Amino acid sequence: MTTEDLLFRRGELCKITGLSARQVQYWHKTNLIRPSYQTPGSHGRYTFQDLIAFKAAKKLLDAGISLQRIRKSIASIREVLPSVKRPLAELTLVATGDVILVFYQDSAFEAISEIEREVLRWKDREERLGKYRRLKTVAASKNRLRKTA
């Protein structure tokens, strides 16, 4: 049995995980989950650990967790547990509402802390309000231009 026999192609990965080829390609492109191996022709080949990571991400998505939230949770986990190289494959992640719980050894913790969640809410709110502020500013300047013309 060669190493090539233990690896999965994208089509096989899609059939096993239930993901579309486009999702797998996008997650690879955006570094969420990358193939462990590349062929000389630059085709990705996936290990069993990669399959576990894709399945874990899909379960989180199916539980209503956004892809952005998954990315931020993984980044947070990597800060807290630098020895864990592949959080989606090496850890047990459970979605409860909008919280991702991480089970590691004999403990459990939230992937994103309460303070990080507050910062994210604040940024989201500021972003939404900023759009309205810009619209009001643009509308006000158009009104001023009309009055001077």
Domain ranges for the chain:
3-112, 113-149
**Tens place of pLDDT per residue across the chain (149 aa):** 555 568 999 999 999 999 999 999 999 999 899 999 988 998 889 999 999 999 999 999 999 998 998 998 898 888 888 888 999 999 999 988 878 888 888 888 888 765 566 666 777 787 877 766 655 555 555 566 666 55
Choices 3.40.50.2300, 1.10.1660.10, 4.10.490.10, 1.10.1370.30: CATH for 3-112: 1.10.1660.10
In angstroms, how far is CA 24 from the centroid of its own chain? Answer: 12
Q: Give the position of tokens 């990669």.
A: 50
2: tokens are 């060669």
pTM of the model: 0.70
34: tokens are 């990358």
Give the residue ranges of DSSP H helices in 46-86. 48-62, 67-80
* Contact criterion met (CB below 8 Å) for 76 and 68: no
Rounded Cα distance between 10 and 13, Å, is 5
Rounded Cα distance between 21 and 145, Å, is 51
Q: Give residue 99's identity as a one-letter amino acid code.
A: V
